[in-house]
Structure formats: structure tokens, C-alpha cells
Structure 1
């Protein structure tokens, strides 16, 4: 698979958002891409009651099974309170720090299925006492989202936002500088769009190199390729899948931490050094 096709796949997956617990639309795109490679051997993509998607390749012996997992969902948040002044308090879905949130744009899914734009507001550097500027840690629970509403009634009636509404982070997705370098993709939800795309590429390679005329693979073990849900809120989808399938070995596909800049703890992973 060439890099233009990989870019098309990951951009397609990024075109629909997938907050934890609401992964179906992205999951269906994943299924559609997988079926392009699986249809020739009539190998189905199956789903379960927690929204996981999986493909099973039967091995020559089938006594043991290996599962390769990549999660569908992305980090974000949940509206936890609508204030009288129209601002919104939120909690996290997934792990991230508060220090980079102030002034960041977000999208909130309202009751009508429409994404509402918002901006995370908080105390700026200029409004922070000098003694606290260096050592202050920002807790996301102390921040608010501004959508333009003047009061609580506007939030509920005009913007149709409710407590419990999911939040995702806004941004562009695609090549970072396409006119200069067509190898670097940037954007939101790379955790875990990168790994989800890798699992599709892997499926193509399995179909081309390991699957025989009978639809089984030329290795002793069964192989599952799985797109799991709710990873950012406790790996719930993965745990559900493993509870309902007899799996001997698990391989998780996820992003790594690039830390090759000054003052960081080295992870031995380099920018532009990925697969």
C-alpha cells in the first residue's frame, strides 16, 4: 500500500469524531475499509454489544489465538455543569494535562447531533500572580468552555447542549506542509488513528501474504485483528473482547512518545523515525 492510500484511509477515519463510548460512525468507516480487502475470501467483520469490531483469521491448527488490538476512540471530555453565566464546566475523557488547554478550541456534540464550537477559558499568564506563574498546575476541572451563550437558558435552548454531552478537540487534519514534505501527517486524534490505520494496512498484508485459497492463514494460531472501544476511559472495549474470546497472546497497537527535544526524558523514538 502506497503512502497516498494510507493518507486517504487515515484522513477518512479522521473525518468523523469518536469520543469514548460514541465510536460507531468511525467504527463503520473502519469496517468499510477492512471489507475492501476481506471480501474476496468472504471473511466477515463482526461487532459485539460494546461496539468492538473484529476479524478472525483461522490458523492451520487453531489451538491458540493471537489478538492485535487498536482502539477507535479519542481523548476529549464531558460537560458536567452548565453555569448561570452560560459557561460550561467539564471533566476529562482520557489522560492529558491542563497546562495546554487554555484557549484551545473544542467541539461539543449537542442533543440534535450537531457539533457546537467552543473555547476553553481559564486564567491567563497575565492574570496569574507572579509567584504562581512558574509552579501553578492547572486542573481541567477548574476551567470552563465558552460557546457564546449569555446564560444557562441559552445554552440549553439555543445551543441544545446538555450535561453529559461529549467534547472533542478541534483542529486541522492532514499533511503538515504538503508543498514541502509529503511524509508528515499531523492533526487531532492521532491517538489512536495512527494505530487504527496500521491495523488496516496489516490486514491487507495478511490477505496478500498469509491467507490461502481456503480463507485460512498459513500460521498455526488463529489471528484476530480488533478495533476496540472506550480505551480512553479504562480499556473497557478490550477487556470485554478478551472476556468473550479465548485469547492466548495480545498485541496492542498505540502511539509512542516522541521525546528527542532538549530537556526531555529520552524514549528512543525520533520524529520522522516511525514505521
Structure 2
């Protein structure tokens, strides 16, 4: 069935925060009175707290008040994706491993501890989850499952633990330079490790605003390309994946302006914006 733009709802989703760029994204969304879903990663949020706890809590509060908060794991696999999904990450020299579900539960507890003085923990709203580096869906109402190869067990275990697992329909393309840096670090360190690895060394903090890093992980296509794909896509309810850091501020990169233009022109085409907490409602009515 073909849908006109005025029939379409777009769900803007942002992965990997809290990190440089999250605040810029929030500013654009608030300027445009637009809600989105933020899939936060524990280790990145902890790095953000180390740099500025008050600013991090302010960002969390803004997300909680105006948007939807999702779980993108605590570790983000520490970049060890194959091990994470096949066996779980080693946690000690005795062979104990961290399961995917335990990692996501750790993230829930981390966010709860971080924010318990600001607002009470609640499970009344859907528990939204997105797997790191895997496009996997497993939703409850009505039952819907579509998983990328290698993510079936992880999505299933999260679903059984009470999460609604969301993938995406399209992605605003960007470079992944930091991932290549992490891969190189991992190869060099793992060659010298004979036991339990220190994953924090394999997945270090980068100063994304430093001159040597400011060009990394940037958008590789203009907003108009994304706009056209959304309009032409047959799905009535469309989930767009983006990453916060692609929108971090720098005079040479006007990515926040690109996001503003995308939202503005989608709205002018009659497209609505919702958070993923509302995604289940059209599914219950049989419309996808």
C-alpha cells in the first residue's frame, strides 16, 4: 500500500549518548518542538559524567522530560561484537562471562543510580532497547520479529526480560573513524594478552572535540538525501537511526543545521514525529 507523506510518522532515534553532540541534538529538537528517542550507552554516559556530572544530569533530565529514553547497553560490547553476541564478554580469569541481557540490566541500574535524586525509577513505560551494531526487532504488540543474522538469541533474551527491541528502517550515513581506531587498538593489545582482557583499554575514551579527532565520525551525506529516502520509503511508520556525535559543534561542520533542515522540511511535507513509546500504538491497530 502506498502512503502519502501526510500519512507518514517518523521516529528520530539517536544512539551512543551521552556524548559530544547530544546537547546539540537536544537544542535542535527543542527549537523545532520535536520529540525523539535516545538510546543511551552506559560507558559513554560515564565518560560524560567524568567530564561534567552536572551537565550530564541536565541532559538526562531534558531527555526524560521531553523525549524517550532507550537502552543501548552499558558496554557497547567494548567493540568486541563477535565475542559479545556469541559467548558474552569475559569478566574475570575464571571464565565468567557477561550476557547481553545482564549488560542491558546493568545499564538500567546505572541510569537509575545516576538519576534517582531527580526522578523515581519506573517501568510503567515500555522498556526500549537497541542492540549495538545489530539491526534487530522484537516487539510485543502485535508480535513482530526481524533480526539481523547473529542477533537472534540476544534479541530473544532481551524480549523475554521485558524489553521491546527496536532496529531501524534507514540510517543517516556517517563515517565510523573511531571504530577503526578502536579496532587498531584492539588488535595491538590483544596480541599481547593471554587471559582476561581489560576491556576499558580496548575501548578507551576519545576527546572527540580535540583537533586530531574533530573530523571523525561525521555525516557523509546531506539532509536532502535522507529526506528523499524517507518520502519514498513504503513504510508508514519509519524509524531513522542517527548517532549523537555526528552533530557535535564545530565551525567546519554544520551538522546541527543539517538536522534542523531535515526536520523542518519533513514537517512542511506533512510528516509527523513521535517517540518509540508511541510506535506500539499503530502496531496494535495493524498499521506498520
TM-score (normalised: structure 1): 0.24
TM-score (normalised: structure 2): 0.23
Structure 1 or 2: more helix by fraction: 2
Structure 1 or 2: more strand by fraction: 1
Pick the structure with greater CA Rg: 1
